[in-house]
């Protein structure tokens, strides 16, 4: 497993769940603190220029773990279940550009809040159909570009659709596409899933990427979530992908990042040479 931390551009909203803001300085900091990579929380695909990003990767040694998209929803109101065809088309078009970026950086794009809610006046079935149509549309292109789209179940206070890993897996079983996977976030699982360890094991077939935060969304170890259970489950399913600290920058960005890596690093199995 490799350990990443979430970062965003300098203009990210206060509601972006990232530790540091400003790409280059965040990558320098992540490298100094001992992370293996950074997850880019983007508002738009052209927010970062590929040539600059490549230069910062060379400068810092950081890898890009994935591109996350919550800000497309939070800052731009884009989503796949919008009753407005124009908004849905814009969301799909932005995702095509994000897939292009991820083809060179991270090979993974998340779909959390940006899938959208079941809107007033819509049935659950109508919203599900709109979301599935967008995924069918995007997954072929994602596969061609070597990118996986990972669906992140998100808690009910942020979105009213696909809250648990089981619900995510049901959709993924239906769509049955190689370029689609599941992205558990243990902060949301702590609110929604019946058991954290058992749910990770039960849904292992789809898991491609993991978000970690404690029960209060602070650094792992600073709340009451049972990370022994989390790591035992990840080990049981042979998970060898990224674990990313998606935490609030409390008490300060540096301190949050320091506490997260200090907690996580000793819990990650060291690979034999
Ligand atoms: C939102 O709570 C979250 O966890 C993000 O990663 C998904 O939008
Ligand atoms: Mn998350």
The strand pairing partners of 151, in sequence order, are: 111, 182
Q: What is the pLDDT of residue 210?
A: 98
Taking residues 8-13, report their average pLDDT. 93
CATH of the domain at 202: 3.20.20.150
Q: Find tokens 């006046």 and name the residue.
A: 121
Q: Pocket of ligand 1, candidates 4, 112, 187: which has the most ligand atoms within 8 Å of its Cβ, to mutate?
A: 112
Task: Tell me the percentage of the chain whose pLDDT exceeds 70.
Answer: 99
Q: Write the residue with the smallest CA distance to atom 7 of ligand 1.
A: 112
Q: Going by DSSP bridges, is the β-strand pair 108-111/148-151 parallel, antiparallel, or unpaired?
A: parallel
Nearest to 64 by CA among 113, 104, 21: 104
pLDDT of 272 strictly over 90: no
User: Is residue 92 situated within a structural domain?
Assistant: yes
Nearest atom (ligand 1) to Cα of 183: 6
Predicted confidence (pLDDT) per residue in 207-247, tens digit? 999 999 999 999 999 999 999 999 999 999 999 999 999 99
Domain-located, residue 119: yes
155 Cα–ligand 1 center, Å: 9
- pLDDT, tens digit (0-9, with 9 covering 90-100), for 240-260: 999 999 999 999 999 999 999
Is position 87 within any domain? yes
The per-residue pLDDT for 218 is 98
**Could you tell me if the CB of 155 is within 6 A of ligand 1?**
no
| pLDDT of res. 273 | 63
Dihedral sign (CA 244, 112, 139, 7)? negative
113 lines ligand 1 (CB under 6 A): yes
Domain with 122 in it: 2-267
CA dist., res. 4 & res. 162, Å (int): 25
Segment 20-29, tens digit of pLDDT: 999 999 999 9
- 211: which strand partners? 185, 244
CB atoms within 10 A of CB 86: 8
For 75-102, what is the mean pLDDT? Answer: 97
**The residue to which tokens 């600290």 are assigned:** 245
In a domain, 155, yes or no: yes
- Does residue 243 fall inside a structural domain? yes
Q: Answer whether residue 148 is part of any domain.
A: yes
Tell me the C-alpha distance between 109 and 267, whole Å: 26
Q: Is residue 272 part of a domain?
A: no
**Beta carbon of 192 within 6 Å of any ligand 1 atom:** no
d(CA 238, ligand 1 centre) in Å: 24
Ligand 2 centroid to Cα of residue 273, in Å, is 32
Tell me the pLDDT tens digit for each residue of 154-196.
Answer: 999 999 999 999 999 999 999 999 999 999 999 999 999 999 9
pLDDT at residue number 144? 98
Is there an atom of ligand 1 within 6 Å of 21 CB? no
- Asked whether the predicted pLDDT for residue 43 surpasses 90, the reply is yes
State whether the beta carbon of 185 lies less than 6 angstroms from ligand 1.
yes
Domain count, the chain: 1
pLDDT on residue 163: 98
């Amino acid at each position: 497993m490799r350990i990443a931390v979430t970062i965003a551009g300098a203009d990210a909203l206060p509601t972006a769940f990232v530790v540091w803001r400003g790409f280059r300085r965040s990558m320098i900091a992540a490298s100094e603190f001992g992370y293996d990579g950074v997850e880019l929380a983007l508002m738009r695909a052209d927010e970062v220029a590929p040539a600059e990003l490549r230069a910062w990767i060379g400068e810092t040694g950081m890898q890009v773990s994935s591109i996350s998209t919550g800000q497309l929803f939070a800052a731009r109101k884009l989503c796949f279940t919008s009753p407005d065809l124009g908004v849905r088309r814009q969301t799909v078009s932005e995702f095509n550009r994000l897939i292009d970026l991820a083809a060179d950086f991270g090979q993974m794009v998340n779909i959390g809040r940006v899938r959208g809610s079941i809107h007033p006046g819509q049935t659950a079935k109508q919203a599900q159909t709109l979301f599935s149509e967008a995924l069918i549309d995007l997954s072929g292109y994602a596969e061609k570009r070597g990118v996986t789209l990972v669906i992140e179940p998100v808690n009910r206070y942020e979105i009213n659709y696909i809250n648990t890993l089981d619900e995510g897996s049901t959709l993924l079983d239906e769509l049955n596409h190689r370029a689609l996977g599941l992205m558990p976030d243990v902060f949301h699982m702590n609110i929604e899933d019946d058991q954290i360890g058992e749910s990770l094991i039960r849904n292992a077939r789809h898991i491609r990427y993991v978000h970690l935060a404690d029960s209060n969304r602070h650094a792992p170890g600073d709340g009451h979530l049972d990370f022994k259970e989390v790591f035992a489950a990840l080990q049981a399913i042979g998970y060898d992908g990224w674990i990313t600290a998606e935490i609030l920058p409390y008490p300060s960005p540096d301190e949050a990042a320091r506490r997260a890596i200090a907690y996580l690093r000793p819990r990650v199995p060291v690979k034999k040479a």
